[in-house]
Amino acid sequence: MTNLIEIKGVTHAFQTPNGPLPVLDDLNMEVPEGELCAVVGPSGCGKSTLTRLIAGLLKPDAGEVWLHGEQVREPRNTVGMAFQNPVLLEWRTILQNVILPLEIVAPKMPKAEKEARALELLALVGLEGFEDKRPSALSGGMRQRASLCRAIVHKPDVLIMDEPFGALDAFTREDLWQTMHALREKEPFTSVLITHDLRESVFLGDQVIVLSGRPATRQFILDVAFPGPRVIDGLFATECVDMLHTLRDQIRIAQGRTTEEEK
Ligand SMILES: Nc1ncnc2c1ncn2[C@@H]1O[C@H](COP(=O)(O)OP(=O)(O)OP(=O)(O)O)[C@@H](O)[C@H]1O
Ligand SMILES: [Mg+2]
């Protein structure tokens, strides 16, 4: 399988009034085409910085980011992004919000075609009938569904998500996980998902990368062998519980606090 995303020895520091703040240190990771890579790590270790580097919004001090066999040197429209707070425009309807990237990337596409594409996605995430509503008329979970549709409406090669479900309650979050699987079945994009939720990383990820504390480097990779179909009940299977324990131990190590010390 070809690697759609390749991060090779990426190192980055921010310049601050107190001197350079090293955030990423010789980070390497690969995401094969069509796979979802979940990234977890201590708070403030550099996860959002990593998403900005992949999107070409930041240039690494050293190392390279490659997407689809091309080195990333600037932002590109083959990358879709989704964040914790869906930034939907209140003066546009849900449908108009979702077609926004098409207006930029494919201005010549006939309006009816743009709308048909958006409506197809909205139906897939369970928002049929809400296309003419304004964002404020929707719940947080529904807004996040709409924002996922907007992130992939122009069929980007890569979808980068930075804690997209972080602000949702636990049950809504589980619904959204299932929506993500439905979307990926229909739209085979490659994805990087930043999350603090280990269950989410195992439920959605093909691999989970644990970053060390800042400056972050790759501390651990888990290849997710989910037992059976990806349904919520599967998270309670022994195989999943074991994976969650492993990840939890790794996060503790990343935080500089070992399980031994806790005993
Ligand atoms: N533009 C910037 N200038 C200076 N420092 C920055 C900048 N952006 C981020 N930082 C710092 O870099 C470090 C990493 O930030 P980043 O947002 O990537 O962490 P994170 O892992 O996403 O954190 P969280 O888990 O809280 O979302 C933090 O210490 C942050 O304060
Ligand atoms: Mg962050």
CATH of the domain at 34: 3.40.50.300
Find the 111 Cα to ligand 2 centroid distance in Å: 36
Within 10 angstroms of residue 63's Cβ, the number of other Cβ atoms is 17
Dihedrals phi, psi of 85, to nearest 5 degrees = -105, 110
Cα–Cα nearest to 88, from 99, 79, 104, 78: 99
Which of 15, 48, 59, 195 to mutate to test ligand 1, by most ligand atoms within 8 A of the CB atom? 48
In the block, which residue shows the tokens 């439920």? 203
Find the 86 Cα to ligand 2 centroid distance in Å: 15
Cα–Cα nearest to 122, from 101, 98, 105: 98
Atom of ligand 1 nearest to the CA of 50: 18
- 248 within domain boundaries: yes
Q: What angle do CA 68, 73, 77 make, to 5 degrees?
A: 60
- Minimum CA distance residue for ligand 1 atom 20: 44
pLDDT at residue number 214: 94
Amino acid present at 71 = Q
- 18 within domain boundaries: yes
Find the 43 Cα to ligand 2 centroid distance in Å: 7
DSSP letter assigned to residue 40: E
Atom of ligand 1 nearest to the CA of 196: 25
- pLDDT of 19 over the 70 cut: yes
Whether the link from the prior residue into 110 is cis, omega within 30° of 0, is: no
Number of structural domains, the chain? 1
- 93 within domain boundaries: no
Q: CB within 5 A of ion ligand 2: which residues?
A: 47-48
Burial class of residue 66 in the structure, from the number of CB atoms within 10 Å of its CB (0-12 exposed, 13-18 middle, 19+ buried): middle
- 43 within domain boundaries: yes
- pLDDT tens digits, 113-124: 999 999 999 999
Atom of ligand 1 nearest to the CA of 46: 18
- 103 within domain boundaries: no
Query: Ligand 1 — pocket residues by CB below 6 A?
Result: 14, 16, 21, 23, 43-49
Longest CA–CA separation in the chain, Å: 64
Average pLDDT over residues 100-106: 93
- 232 within domain boundaries: yes
- 142 within domain boundaries: no
- pLDDT tens digits, 56-96: 999 999 999 999 999 999 998 889 999 888 889 999 999 99
Task: Give the integer Cα–Cα distance in Å for 164 and 149.
Answer: 13
- pLDDT tens digits, 192-203: 999 999 999 999
For 44, the domain range is 1-75+196-263
Find the 164 Cα to ligand 2 centroid distance in Å: 11
- 25 within domain boundaries: yes
